[in-house]
Amino acid sequence: MAARNVPCSFLRAAVRGFAHSPAAAALVTAEQMAEKLREQKKPKAAPEVPKDRVLRRVQEYVQQTRCFQQLHPNVLAKVLKKGILYTNKDIVVINKPYGLPVHGGPGMKTCITDVLPILAKMLYGMKAEPLHLCHRLDKETTGVMVLAKDEMIAHRVQEMFKTRQVEKKYWAICIGKPEPEEGLVDIPIMEKKVDSHQSHFKMTLAPNYRLSLEDKKLCKVRRNKDAQLAVTRYRVLSSWSTCSILELEPITGVKHQIRVHLAYGLGCPILGDHKYSHWSKLAPQKLSLGTLKKLGLEQVKARYLPLHLHACNLTLPPINSNEEQKIHLFCKPPVFFKLSLKRLKLEFSASEQKEMKTD
């Protein structure tokens, strides 16, 4: 009976007060959170495949070379763990993905260095010491990469790289075909500023000889103090029309050495190397109509082409004195590399094909 005497205005005020109370706000927030979680658990629809052939090819490249910068470090560590090629008591060998930098820098959200402590814990437990880098690969280069389980082993392997005890082999799809088909490029390399409307720096050749304009003979020039010794052995494995696939063995380890020797030394830039396909500008690689047709691209979409350079083989000498045999490491090329080979009608030799199948 007492409730009947309560004014309606008082009841309305009480309801409004409860609706704006912290408890009610928390209830609404919890409901929203539950709804958000339900949405996240719903299976995501597969991206629609474009009907246009060129857009479809672009989507393939974007998906196959997805930016690992967007991944959480824990997820990235799981990706690297899944791609482990070899491990023993001293080293862990991973398959480095495309587009993942080794070290951080401006605009870099995630790099391999950042996830080494997480990867070590995933492999050896929470108290594990972070893994250590033994060498580096360019952000756009894929393939074999060696990590050490402790600092002493890392220094030992790094010294092997410095003293050229490590045998390295790469595969690269190139524009054109070098002449001769097998040889040695022995031309020093240095970094130089490119003066253009978009000023930037590039590695370039600093040859010890130049062609005399008077008698067309080679004459020796003074060595540039900033130039570094750079030697690359190359061999054509297969060629077809406008492209070829090369096996490369860098004897030295100068920054961007293979890319510079192929582009400026042999006149055969690597497919997707937009930086070293031109000297005076930063622009997408210019491809012939035949190459574009085989790849299913148009020139305006050539910027989506990834760099086709893969570290396929690495041979390490015995790391410890009690070891006798060398460690031979092999890594298959990524999906986009193999698809480009197929589209360009390039084939590996029987020995390379056998190694890829048995790995």
Name residue 52's amino acid. Answer: D
Annotate the chain with three-state secondary structure: CCHHHCCHHHHHHHHHHHHCCHHHHHHHHHHHHHHHHHHHHCCCCCCCCCCCHHHHHHHHHHHHCCCHHHCCHHHHHHHHHHCEEEECCCEEEEEECCCCCCCCCCCCCCCHHHHHHHHHHHHHCCCCCCCEECCCCCCCCEEEEEEECCHHHHHHHHHHHHCCCCEEEEEEEEECCCCCCEEEEECCEEEEEECCCCCEEEEEECCCEEECCCCCCEEECCCCCCCECCEEEEEEEEEECCEEEEEEEECCCCCCHHHHHHHHHCCCCECCCCCCCCCCCCCCCCCCHHHHHHHCCCHHHHHHCCCCEEEEEEEECCCCCCCCCCEEEECCCCHHHHHHHHHCCCCCCHHHHHHHHHC
> Comparing 208 with 166, which gets the higher pLDDT?
166
Q: Does residue 164 have a pLDDT over 70?
A: yes
> Mean per-residue pLDDT for 273-288?
92
Which residues are catalytically annotated?
138
pLDDT score at 29: 73
Predicted TM-score (pTM) of the model is 0.83
> Mean per-residue pLDDT for 307-315?
97
What is the distance between the alpha carbons of residues 49 and 286, in angstroms, rounded to a whole number? 27
pLDDT score at 20: 54
| Average pLDDT of every residue of the chain | 86
pLDDT in tens, 208-235: 888 777 777 788 888 888 999 999 999 9
Contact predicate 341/245, CB 8 Å: yes
